Amino acid sequence: MDRTRLRRKPQRGSHDRAVIDAIVDEALVCHLGFVAAHGPVVIPTTHVRCGDVLCIHGSAASAMLTSLATGIDACVTITLLDALVYARTAFHHSVNYRSVIAFGRATEITDRAGKLAALAALLDKLEPGRSQRCRPPNDKELKATSVLALPLTEASAKVRSGPPVPDDTPEDAALPYWAGVIPLVTARAAPIPAP
Amino acid sequence: MDRTRLRRKPQRGSHDRAVIDAIVDEALVCHLGFVAAHGPVVIPTTHVRCGDVLCIHGSAASAMLTSLATGIDACVTITLLDALVYARTAFHHSVNYRSVIAFGRATEITDRAGKLAALAALLDKLEPGRSQRCRPPNDKELKATSVLALPLTEASAKVRSGPPVPDDTPEDAALPYWAGVIPLVTARAAPIPAP
């Protein structure tokens, strides 16, 4: 587990599965890193956690999915930005965040039942029950879609929360600048029906 | 520029600098990919665009920054999630997003003026003028901080917007399911002063 050892600010880190799972489940997008012929590549994609694995999907013709399906090393990173942290000194400005980094190799889900379950879970993550409120994939659509599973076993979380760190000196503490936290909130706006 | 050629859904792609810059400027976090001894790694970090380069910063002891400063290949990916897209079929569900992928090698900004300018730009991105409303870095803090610049010259953007794609068949169009777009909005909540 050396590659999940937290080097920078280890006090912010956790290998607690409940912490990791909650971050993975709240985030709608992950960033997948792998090494292509020309070097490192990072691709954003949607995901859903199914137990111990992260499921992603896309076109069966996707270069990323076909590369990952060969079992190359991958790194998946998930980040939730919670707040801007203003301090009285430039140095102590920060952000509050919750992130997960997982290392592993993907495997393709090829059995029909497993594939349908993962695709349904992707929809139900957007809105509980959504997979029951649309036509399920037909054979042609299923064939055109690849679904991969990435293990979440080798994962760590990192979290910063709360106010800026205390000022280093009484002089800094006496500075006339505002310090505190500006929370960032993501919400769903009014739905726009399709034309 | 082969590695910025858009393979999947090239109609969503752009190499327009104004499109790329607007996405980079709006996003507060980027995901940086590089290859460590044990394989690919993706790390989230804040960033600011200074003209043609993306500036990032962190502890001078950061393993990521010291690795990147040696000039290894890097990939920086920036993603803004704008909406969930519901279709009448599972297959045509999607998300609206704006993303940028840039490939390049970082260089460390070591001159004092350049470093101070990049650090000020990082703060002013959070709030215009913020760098003037805090104590600037002193020599010790400046020494403890590394600032890197990544070129944005080899970059591409990808954007999906608008409603779900039209239904494939009259039968799909007649399905009794809701289709449309659910916008996602990120906002700043009421500031919380430090204790």
pLDDT in tens, B20-68: 999 999 999 999 999 999 999 999 999 999 999 999 999 999 999 999 9
Question: Per the structure, how many domains does chain B have?
Answer: 1
Domain that holds residue A59: 2-183
Residue B131 has pLDDT above 90, yes or no: yes
Residue A1 has pLDDT above 70, yes or no: no
* Domain presence at residue B185: no
Residue B124 has pLDDT above 60, yes or no: yes
* Mean pLDDT, rounded, for A121-149: 98
Residue located via tokens 């001159």: B111
Q: For residues B69 and B175, what is the distance between their CA atoms, to the nearest angstrom?
A: 55
> pLDDT at position A104, please?
98
* Domain presence at residue B176: no
- A23 strand-pairing partners: none
- Asked if A101 and B43 come within 8 Å (Cβ–Cβ), the reply is yes
Q: What is the DSSP letter of A167?
A: P
Among chain B residues, the shortest Cα distance to A82 is held by B188
Q: Does B26 touch chain A (CB under 8 A)?
A: no
Please tell me the distance in Å from A43's CA to the nearest CA on chain B: 7
Q: Does A59 touch chain B (CB under 8 A)?
A: yes
What ipTM score was computed for the predicted complex, to two decimals?
Answer: 0.96
> pLDDT at position B4, please?
79
- Asked if B8 and A145 come within 8 Å (Cβ–Cβ), the reply is no
Residue from the list A8, A28, A32 with its beta carbon closest to the beta carbon of B62 = A8
Q: Which two tokens stand for residue A165?
A: 């760190």
What are the φ and ψ backbone dihedral angles of B167, each rounded to 5 degrees?
-60, 145
- Asked if B77 and A135 come within 8 Å (Cβ–Cβ), the reply is no
Cβ-count burial of A80 within 10 angstroms (0-12 exposed, 13-18 middle, 19+ buried)?
buried
Q: How confident is the model at residue B7 (pLDDT cuts 50, 70, 90)?
A: confident
| Three-class secondary structure of residue B73 per DSSP | strand
* Domain presence at residue A188: no
Q: How many helices (H) and strands (E) does chain A have?
A: 5, 12
Best B64, B91, B138 member to test A by mutation, with max A CBs in 10 Å, is B91
* Mean pLDDT, rounded, for A28-47: 97
Kindly list the distances between the CA atom of residue B20 and the CA atoms of B23, B100, B102, B153, B157, in Å, as whole numbers in the listed order.
5, 6, 10, 10, 6
What are the φ and ψ backbone dihedral angles of A144, each rounded to 5 degrees?
-80, -5
pLDDT in tens, A157-189: 999 999 999 999 999 999 999 999 999 999 999
CATH number of residue A141's parent domain: 2.30.110.10
* Domain presence at residue B93: yes
Please tell me the distance in Å from A90's CA to the nearest CA on chain B: 5
* Domain presence at residue B182: no
Closest CA to A86 of A171, A192, A164, A175: A164
Pairing relationship of beta strands A94-105 and A155-160 according to DSSP bridges: antiparallel
Is-contact A85 A59, C-beta < 8 A? Answer: no
* Domain presence at residue B108: yes
> pLDDT at position A4, please?
79
* Mean pLDDT, rounded, for A38-42: 97
- Asked if A179 and B194 come within 8 Å (Cβ–Cβ), the reply is yes
Kindly list the distances between the CA atom of residue B120 and the CA atoms of B38, B111, B135, B179, in Å, as whole numbers in the listed order.
35, 14, 11, 45
* Domain presence at residue B156: yes
Kindly list the distances between the CA atom of residue B127 and the CA atoms of A93, B28, B83, in Å, as whole numbers in the listed order.
12, 11, 25
Higher-confidence position of B13 and A26: A26
Residue B1 has pLDDT above 60, yes or no: no
Query: What contacts A30, CB < 8 A, 6 or more positions away?
Result: A24, A44, A45, A46, A47, A54, A56, A76, A77, A78
* Domain presence at residue A191: no
String of DSSP letters for B79-110: EEEEEEEE-SBGGG-EEEEEEEEEEEE-EE--
Is-contact B58 B145, C-beta < 8 A? Answer: yes
Residue B181 has pLDDT above 90, yes or no: yes
String of DSSP letters for A67-132: HHHTT-EEEEEEEEEEEEEE-SBGGG-EEEEEEEEEEEE-EE--SHHHHHHHHHHHHHHHSTTGGG
Q: For residues A101 and A95, what is the distance between their CA atoms, to the nearest angstrom?
A: 18
Chain mean pLDDT for chain B: 96
